[in-house]
């Protein structure tokens, strides 16, 4: 049966564990997987700019021995001529074996999956979901903390439009003993539907504005960028963009083994002086992103490597 | 007292919250029906104080019952045949609504692809919350 990844909850906890085990095996034995996708093609359909996600998908496919085709902006695709997502994916299905789609409009990858003959991976849709970043985040936490249970995680910055935040909260809500500290200005609070989920599952969360106050209790600090492209009003963006800046001084308030994660790119919400701190794991996180995408491509294509 | 004659064959929508009949009229596309339609506003009701009633002399497409349940789950549907009530239906909140309400989120794919069906799913039956299938934005009237 054709499977897609549109939402981080599309995979059960057991399936996620299996996927992360595969990613770890890929990390440890890259040669074993070097030809796993021979003669397979990944289409990267990116209707809005991305460096990390697109290149990590392309890197993942190349490391599996496969090919890549696609476009990196709506201007260089038939979308500029008015072609629908449904028609585009019907065509892509003729040329590729699997598709990773990023789209500024929320729900576009779901529309694609309804008309596709190949697996569709949501590589980010507007401010909605970004499930492969979530898989990356989960793998990073599991690899560096040893478990996804019993963690206090602080999510800081733009929690309203930050799709990585929504996806990560949904995914972590399935593990035990998770506490969420939601750090944001009032205008960028987590959307109501995410809070509904936390309430429904009776999970601990606290909404605060002050990062310093939250720092000492965190096992993980997940920083996010205030995204200019999500604002309809430039003045609002300028007012919000420097609300939180993680500095060396603030890091002194944190536990010795706290991890700092960030989906990247960062602008100035993490001072570069923090990069040398051993607790800064956001570049390592980007590396895990490629391994988990390799595992995902293999899984959705139904390929097993002995 | 206003008298409206009984129906021989058709549908009576009863227990409509007072003032909501025109909204229902719109959602059911009754303006496009050829048959007779009577709208009774502010009728006396023991249960509700005041209520609206719609009498339709003709068949109602069953798919439109979705809209009725969405607008008010206490609305009852009486099917009339040969002057007698042959079926009384209570309505629950439908699990999905297709092309009955529209997503208002400017970031939703439905805002740019006009041919897409507007599909909502029942996210919270207790609070009657519907969310867009594509962007998961909550529907607000």
B18 shares its domain with B84: yes
Q: What's the confidence (pLDDT) of residue A253? A: 97
B84 shares its domain with B110: no
HSE (side-chain half, CA atoms, 13 Å) at B66: 17
B26 shares its domain with B81: yes
Residues contacting A203, CB < 8 A, separation 6+: A173, A178, A179, A180
Under an 8 A CB cutoff, do A106 and B109 touch? yes
B27 shares its domain with B64: yes
B19 shares its domain with B43: yes
With beta carbons less than 8 A apart as the criterion, state whether A142 and A172 touch: no
Q: Does any domain span residue B125?
A: yes
Other CB atoms within a 10 A radius of the CB of residue B34 amount to 7
Looking at domain A8-130+289-301, its CATH architecture is: 3-Layer(aba) Sandwich (3.40)
Of A41, A44, A53, A134, the catalytic one is A53
Under an 8 A CB cutoff, do A193 and B136 touch? yes
Q: Which of B105, B129, B138 is nearest residue A106 as measured by Cβ atoms? A: B105
Let me know if A130 is a catalytic residue.
yes
B69 shares its domain with B20: yes
Q: Does any domain span residue B140?
A: no
CATH, domain range A132-286: 3.40.50.1370
Residue A105 with chain B: CB contacts under 8 Å:
107-109, 111-113
Question: Model pTM?
Answer: 0.85
Q: What's the confidence (pLDDT) of residue A232? A: 65
Tokens describing residue B61 = 């497409």
B33 shares its domain with B100: no
Residue B107 with chain A: CB contacts under 8 Å:
104-106, 126-128
Q: From residue B137, how far is each of A87, A271, B62, B104, B120 by CA, in Å?
A: 25, 34, 27, 8, 9
Q: How many domains does chain B have?
A: 2
Under an 8 A CB cutoff, do B110 and A128 touch? no
Q: What is the pLDDT of residues A103-137, one digit of tens each?
A: 999 999 999 999 999 999 999 998 888 999 999 99
Residues contacting A306, CB < 8 A, separation 6+: none
Under an 8 A CB cutoff, do B107 and A127 touch? yes
Q: Does any domain span residue B76?
A: yes
Of A40, A54, A63, A102, the catalytic one is A102
What whole-number distance in Å separates Cα of residue A178 and Cα of residue A172? Answer: 7
B72 shares its domain with B123: no
Tokens describing residue A261 = 């994660």
Angle at A207 between CA A203 and CA A212, to 5 degrees: 120
Rounded to the nearest angstrom, the gap between the alpha carbon of residue B24 and the centroid of all alpha carbons in its chain is 5
Tokens describing residue B80 = 């009339």
In this prediction, the residues of chain A whose per-residue pLDDT falls under 50 are: none
- DSSP E strands, chain A: 41-46, 67-71, 98-103, 120-125, 152-156, 179-183, 204-208, 220-223, 259-261
ipTM at complex level: 0.84
Residues contacting A100, CB < 8 A, separation 6+: A42, A43, A44, A45, A53, A54, A57, A70, A121, A123, A132
B81 shares its domain with B17: yes
B22 shares its domain with B75: yes
Let me know if A53 is a catalytic residue.
yes
B106 shares its domain with B72: no
B126 shares its domain with B61: no
Is B63's pLDDT higher than 80? no
Residue of higher predicted confidence among B128 and A272: A272
Of A130, A142, A163, A241, the catalytic one is A130
DSSP 8-state code for residue A303: -
With beta carbons less than 8 A apart as the criterion, state whether B103 and B90 touch: no
Q: Does any domain span residue B68?
A: yes
With beta carbons less than 8 A apart as the criterion, state whether B89 and B79 touch: yes
Q: What is the pLDDT of residues A67-93, one digit of tens each?
A: 999 998 777 666 767 789 999 999 999
Residue of higher predicted confidence among A235 and B18: B18
**Maximum distance among all alpha carbons in chain B?**
51
Same fold: A8-130+289-301 with A132-286: yes
How would you class A195 by CB atoms within 10 Å of its CB: exposed for 0-12, middle for 13-18, buried for 19 or more? Answer: middle
Q: Where residue B50 sits, what CATH number does that domain have?
A: 3.30.70.140
Full domain range(s) for residue B61: 10-90
What whole-number distance in Å separates Cα of residue A56 and Cα of residue A68? Answer: 12
Tokens describing residue B139 = 């529907």
């Amino acid at each position: 049966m054709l499977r897609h990844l549109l939402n981080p909850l599309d995979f059960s906890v057991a399936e996620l564990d299996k996927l992360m085990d595969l990613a770890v095996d890929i990390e440890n034995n890259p040669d074993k997987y070097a030809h796993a996708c021979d003669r397979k093609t990944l289409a990267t359909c990116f209707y809005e700019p991305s460096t990390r996600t697109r290149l990590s998908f392309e890197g993942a496919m190349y490391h599996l021995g496969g090919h890549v085709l696609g476009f990196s902006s709506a201007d260089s695709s038939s979308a500029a001529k008015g072609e629908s997502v449904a028609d585009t994916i019907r065509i892509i299905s003729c040329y590729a074996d699997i598709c990773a789609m990023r789209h500024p409009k929320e729900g576009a990858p779901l529309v694609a999956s309804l008309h596709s003959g190949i697996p569709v991976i949501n590589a980010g849709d507007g401010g909605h979901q970004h499930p492969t970043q979530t898989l990356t985040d989960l793998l990073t936490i599991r690899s560096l903390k040893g478990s996804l249970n019993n963690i206090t995680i602080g999510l800081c910055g733009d929690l309203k439009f930050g799709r990585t935040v929504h996806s990560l909260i949904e995914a972590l809500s399935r593990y035990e003993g998770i506490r969420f500290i939601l750090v944001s200005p009032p205008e960028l609070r987590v959307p109501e539907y995410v809070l509904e989920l936390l309430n429904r599952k009776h999970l601990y969360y606290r909404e605060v504005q002050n990062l310093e106050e939250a720092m000492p209790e965190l096992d993980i600090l997940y920083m996010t960028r205030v995204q200019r492209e999500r604002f309809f009003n430039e003045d609002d963006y300028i007012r919000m963009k420097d609300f939180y800046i993680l500095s060396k001084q603030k890091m002194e308030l944190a536990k010795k083994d706290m991890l700092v994660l960030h989906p990247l790119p960062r602008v100035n919400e993490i001072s570069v002086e923090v990069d040398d701190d051993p607790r800064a794991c956001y570049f390592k996180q980007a590396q895990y992103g490629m391994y988990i995408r390799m595992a995902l491509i293999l899984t959705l294509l139904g390929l097993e490597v002995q | 007292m206003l008298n409206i004659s009984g129906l021989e064959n058709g549908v009576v929508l009863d227990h409509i919250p007072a003032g909501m009949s025109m909204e229902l009229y719109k959602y059911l596309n009754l303006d496009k029906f050829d048959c007779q339609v009577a709208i009774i506003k502010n009728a006396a009701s023991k249960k509700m104080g005041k209520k609206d009633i719609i009498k339709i002399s003709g068949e109602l497409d069953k798919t439109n019952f979705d809209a009725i349940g969405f607008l008010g789950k206490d609305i009852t549907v009486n099917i009339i045949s040969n002057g007698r009530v042959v079926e009384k239906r209570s309505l629950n909140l439908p699990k999905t609504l297709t092309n009955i309400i529209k997503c208002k989120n400017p970031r939703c794919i439905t805002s740019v692809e006009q041919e897409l069906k507007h599909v909502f799913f029942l996210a919270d039956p207790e609070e009657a919350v519907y969310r867009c299938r594509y962007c998961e934005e909550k529907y607000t009237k």
